[in-house]
Structure 1
Amino acid sequence: MKDSLMTDWISVLHSYLAYIVLALLFLAVANAITGLIGKRMFTLEKDYRLSLFTLILCHMQLLIGILLYFISSSGFFAVKTLGMGGLNPAARLLAVEHPFINILAVALITVGWSRHKKVMEGKKKFKSIAIFYGLGLILILSRIPWAQWFN
């Protein structure tokens, strides 16, 4: 199956948006850790907006990735055509590991956002964001197809 121009465009969007998502996710985690250590107040102007914007972009990236998974030849089509045993490690990363782990990562980030909303104390808000967004960041970094990014 040959990828179309639209598939190529969505793939480029997914790749470039990933840089923004990673930067924001790193900033949100760093902000939460510094807020926790510095015993700062959790503010709407900075902390809330940074965490919310990061959550929104993570969800957008996930939706674009899911769309790409179903229209690209290296996603669902590869698994359907080759089966799990026919995938080499690079193809398995793109078709199975990357989507599964990133869905799990965005779910953890969403849990962190949801938990932070339920508490009133700034320390607990920062702790929730730091832990769950941090775990999400680690999972995302573990399954990025780095070889494709730098080609």
Structure 2
Amino acid sequence: MNAYSFVQHLHSGFRYIVLVLFIYTILQAFIGWLAGRPYDNRNRLTNLFAMISAHTQLLIGIVLYFLSPLVAFNSTTMKDPVTRYFTMEHGVMMLIALVLITIGHSKSKKLVLPEAKHKTIALFYTLALLIIIGTLAAGKISILK
């Protein structure tokens, strides 16, 4: 197993940890927001671990990007949907999702009311998760064509 294959498997497997953390965090935030529950240290840590897992996934993805044999910028890169997806679209959209996650986490830390904290996490993390899922679905479609 070479370095590219190892990092590819790591990136592919770690996404499930990120997904589980995000679904749990989003559910916890929506329940806290809609039920008017207090925002405690468990909520803060869950939000933080979800954000850290997303940042870790980004770092693994960056390493994978530079190890990948698909990343070859030439005249055909943007013409081939699979190569374009892996060299541009995937990374840019995941970076946008990560920015939303980071903004949501940062904004929630500055808020005082528990409902506002839960609401901010719920909205920003959900929007980021929708972008992630949409980008992955678009990638599957471009690969299958």
- Say whether the fold is shared (TM-score over 0.5): yes
Instruction: Give the deviation of 1:100 after TM superposition.
Output: 0.4
Instruction: Give the deviation of 1:83 after TM superposition.
Output: 4.3
Q: Which residue of 1 aligns with 2:56?
A: 60
Instruction: Give the deviation of 1:73 after TM superposition.
Output: 1.3
Q: Which residue of 2 aligns with 1:81?
A: 74
Given candidates 32, 57, 69, the residue that maps to 2:29 is 32
For structure 1, the 5+ residue unaligned runs are: none
SS of the aligned residue for 1:139 comes to helix
SS of the aligned residue for 1:143 comes to helix
The answer to whether the 8 A contact 1:109-1:136 is kept is yes
Instruction: Give the deviation of 1:70 after TM superposition.
Output: 1.4
Q: Which residue of 1 aligns with 2:102?
A: 110
The answer to whether the 8 A contact 1:59-1:106 is kept is yes
For structure 2, the 5+ residue unaligned runs are: none
Question: 2: distance between equivalents of 1:8 and 1:17?
Answer: 14
Question: 2: distance between equivalents of 1:60 and 1:107?
Answer: 14
TM-score relative to the length of structure 1: 0.86
Instruction: Give the deviation of 1:71 after TM superposition.
Output: 1.5
Q: Which residue of 2 aligns with 1:51?
A: 47
Aligned sequence identity (%)? 34
Question: 2: distance between equivalents of 1:6 and 1:117?
Answer: 38
Q: RMSD between aligned alpha carbons? A: 1.7
Question: 1: distance between equivalents of 2:86 and 2:52?
Answer: 23
Instruction: Give the deviation of 1:143 after TM superposition.
Output: 1.3
Aligned length: 140
TM-score relative to the length of structure 2: 0.89
Instruction: Give the deviation of 1:85 after TM superposition.
Output: 3.4
Instruction: Give the deviation of 1:5 after TM superposition.
Output: 0.5
Q: Which residue of 2 aligns with 1:13?
A: 10
Instruction: After superposition, give the CA deviation of every residue in 1:89-138 in whole Å (9 maximum; x if it has no partner).
Output: 22222221110000000010000000001011100100110111111100
Instruction: Give the deviation of 1:82 after TM superposition.
Output: 4.4
The answer to whether the 8 A contact 1:93-1:143 is kept is no
Instruction: Give the deviation of 1:81 after TM superposition.
Output: 3.3
Q: Which residue of 2 aligns with 1:69?
A: 65
Amino acid at match of 2:31: T
Instruction: After superposition, give the CA deviation of every residue in 1:44-76 in whole Å (9 maximum; x if it has no partner).
Output: 0x21111010000000000110111112112xx
Q: Does 1:92 align with 2:92?
A: no
SS of the aligned residue for 1:85 comes to coil
